[in-house]
Amino acid sequence: MIEITPVLDSRSNSPLYVQLANYIKQEILSGRIKPNEKLPSKRNLSRYLNLSLNTIQSAYEQLCAEGYVESKPRKGIFVSTFNEEIPSNQIFSQKCEPENEELKVNIKYDFNSGKVDLEHFPYSIWRKLTIQSLYQDKGELFYNGNPQGELLLREQIAKYLFASRGVRCSANQIIIGAGTQVLIGLLSLLIGKDHIYALENPGLHRTRTTLQDLGVHTISTPLDEDGININQLKNSAASVVYVTPSHQFPYGMIMPISRRMELLKWAEGKNGYIIEDDYDGEYRFKGKPIPSLQGLDTKGNVVYLGTFSKSLIPSIRISYMVLPSSLIKKYQESFTVYKQTVSRLHQDTLYRFMNDGHWQSHLNKMRTLYRKKHSTLMVSIQNYFGENAIVVGGNSGLHIVLEVKNSMKEDELISKALNVGVKVYPISIYYHCAKESLSPGVILGFGGLSETEIDIGIRLLKEVWEL
Ligand SMILES: Cc1ncc(COP(=O)(O)O)c(C=O)c1O
């Protein structure tokens, strides 16, 4: 049975039954109450909301009269089915704006950079391993585990990071956590409040928000073609810097070795930290791999962050950080009071997945697949847009920035695309403040679309962007 919990204002000029009818109407229009669902009986709703039976009766009659619900004799009141699209001005007058646009259109081609290819996710292997995790150790996994995360999984991660990303660490230095934001929060406690953090601008808004909400002093540092601007960093009071060197988020530049060495020297001089967020470094389409900053660090100034959100699936919520010895010591002395945030079952299943060799074959398969998708995206952009668009940061990762040379601003590019069922994403939200230098453009993620969908999506964009 659906729950109806409106906030009604008895002092309003609008009668209670009208407020209630409007509320139910909005729930129906937004899709939260679905066609054919049964509404609560008048008596139950009257009791639940502590309103008179007459008020409920009048509200239901109003909805019936307007065709939102139908009364079926001896069965109850049911939400009608709508064949026609509901006019957009009927879709709420209240808040919820971001969803409104999407309600009106059917999004067929979603260039969301957070999506990965689910068609090729090895469901049956994952299912089998989950069952093994559930049964093979007599329920041990149902108790709390090590606050750092399962040792067996950390050992697998350490092995993988060394082989694939040049990260040098032991399992003892790794802390697993349910996402990058959780880990950044813990990290800021470990590093302490005496530091100022420099953040890439533009950069990941989630990092900025997390740190600011925790009361950390942050400053914005602009980018140049190699990543974070080192001179601006040197001239600032910061002693901690957060960077995305393998694929700057969102602009996608890969930090060259010279800039990496400069950053390391800066951190050593400041006795500070570099937080290296290597969120999608597994996927590189051009050029030679560059060792991670962590792998180049000899003084213990780098914290390495990684995630399975892009390389496996985002909903598994398994990310990790590799701490240098000074911070792991602090963690083990004073911070194990914070319990592990990832389910032991998922950790154990992932351990089995890695230990049995499925992880490496999955990664190999996905690399080939994303390389193809990436190449389709580049070819489609070239074919349809020609000289009228520039791809930025297209050498690695699962998204690109597309700078579009027409007279449309970012919000216009996005809304025109939405009109034809294509969803593209803004860059402006990743800027800390003014965005004067920003050329109009959008972010296009391609991981969750097939090659055909990518091509059709780009063709539709050509039409609506009038390129
Ligand atoms: C810069 C950056 N870091 C990290 C992540 C991953 O975050 P999480 O580990 O919380 O899924 C993302 C998005 O997927 C990202 O864009």
199-242 pLDDT per residue, tens: 999 999 999 999 999 999 999 999 999 999 999 999 999 999 99
**Which pLDDT band, with edges at 50, 70 and 90, does 288 fall under?**
confident
Is residue 345 within 8 A of residue 422, CB to CB? The reply is: no
Helix (H) or strand (E) holding 198: strand 196-201
Q: Is 391 left (phi over 0), alpha (psi -120 to 50) or beta?
A: beta
N residues, the chain: 467
Is 279 a pocket residue for ligand 1 (Cβ < 6 Å)? yes
Mean pLDDT of 277-300: 90
**Which pLDDT band, with edges at 50, 70 and 90, does 98 fall under?**
very low
Residue 185: is its pLDDT beyond 60?
Answer: yes
**Residue nearest to ligand 1 atom 7, measured at CA:** 180
Q: How many CB atoms lie within 10 A of CB 1?
A: 9
What does the pLDDT read at residue 374? Answer: 97
Q: What is the pLDDT of residues 100-136, one digit of tens each?
A: 445 556 899 999 999 999 999 999 999 999 999 998 7
Give the bridge partners for 227, in sequence order.
Answer: 224
What does the block give as tokens for 18? 């009208």
**Residue nearest to ligand 1 atom 3, measured at CA:** 279
**Which pLDDT band, with edges at 50, 70 and 90, does 93 fall under?**
very low
Is 244 a pocket residue for ligand 1 (Cβ < 6 Å)? yes
Sketch out the chain's domains with CATH numbers: 16-101 (1.10.10.10), 137-356 (3.40.640.10), 361-464 (3.90.1150.10)
Q: How close is the Cα of 460 to the center of ligand 1, in Å?
A: 29
Is 307 a pocket residue for ligand 1 (Cβ < 6 Å)? yes
Q: How many CB atoms lie within 10 A of CB 278?
A: 22
Q: What is the pTM of this model?
A: 0.80
What does the block give as tokens for 435? 């965005």
What does the pLDDT read at residue 10? Answer: 84
Average confidence score pLDDT of the chain? 91
What does the pLDDT read at residue 235? Answer: 97
What does the pLDDT read at residue 1? Answer: 65
Is residue 449 within 8 A of residue 405, CB to CB? The reply is: no
Residue found under tokens 């690109």 = 400
What does the pLDDT read at residue 289? Answer: 72
Is 179 a pocket residue for ligand 1 (Cβ < 6 Å)? yes
Buried b (16+ CB within 10 A) or exposed e, 183-212: bbbbbbebbeeebebbbbbbbbeebbebbe
- Give the position, in ligand 1's atom list, of the atom nearest the Cα of 308: 9
SS3 call for 76:
strand
CA angle 293, 287, 112 (to 5 degrees): 80
**Residue nearest to ligand 1 atom 15, measured at CA:** 279
Helix (H) or strand (E) holding 126: helix 123-135
Mutational pocket test of ligand 1: of 206, 248, 425, the residue with most ligand atoms within 8 Å of the beta carbon: 206
Q: How close is the Cα of 306 to the center of ligand 1, in Å?
A: 8
Q: How close is the Cα of 4 to the center of ligand 1, in Å?
A: 36
- Give the position, in ligand 1's atom list, of the atom nearest the Cα of 204: 1
**Residue nearest to ligand 1 atom 14, measured at CA:** 114
